[in-house]
Amino acid sequence: MPPAKKKTCYRVHYLHRGYLQTLKIAVRLTCMLTLLLGAAVFGDSTSDDQANLAGKINCPLFGAARGLDSTLTIQIQNVHRSYVLHLPQDYNCGSKHPLVIGLHGYTGSGSDFQHKTTGMFANINRHSYIGVFPNGTESAPGSGLTSFNDLGSR
């Protein structure tokens, strides 16, 4: 019997490698967003400022209302990025709440991701966590990307 032909897995490996690269980027963005939100919220505050916030509802640091979506922006190296912040109904500055960051696909909207795609909106109030949903952007000029499928567009 002749030896079996060896199947090549180049395409699978290429897709797998692309998936891992995309996953690495998503993890980096999550870490960066978490650090930036922490710096934006507490970066300029002293321990006295933080102590004065204890027990207050609708902290002015967030600029967001309880139980509602608020679209906010941060500036990173002269680029303005927007995100949707949703505080739970029972949000209290003096209490700890888990933070969930929802990352969606290419050019997506943070609001659509939480309301239409995942249904996280209902769970935020039910489970009392803070939801942060970054908005997508257009492709960077010269990036060569024309769709979410960056592997297929090259």
Kindly report, residue by residue over 128-153, the tens digit of the pLDDT.
878 888 877 665 555 555 555 444 44
Order of all β-strands in the sheet with 130-134:
69-76, 79-86, 130-134, 99-101
- Whole-model pTM: value is 0.49
d(CA 2, CA 103): 50
pLDDT tens profile 80-130? 777 888 888 888 777 788 888 777 666 666 566 665 555 666 777 777 878
**109 token code pair:** 């909207």
**64 token code pair:** 């967001």
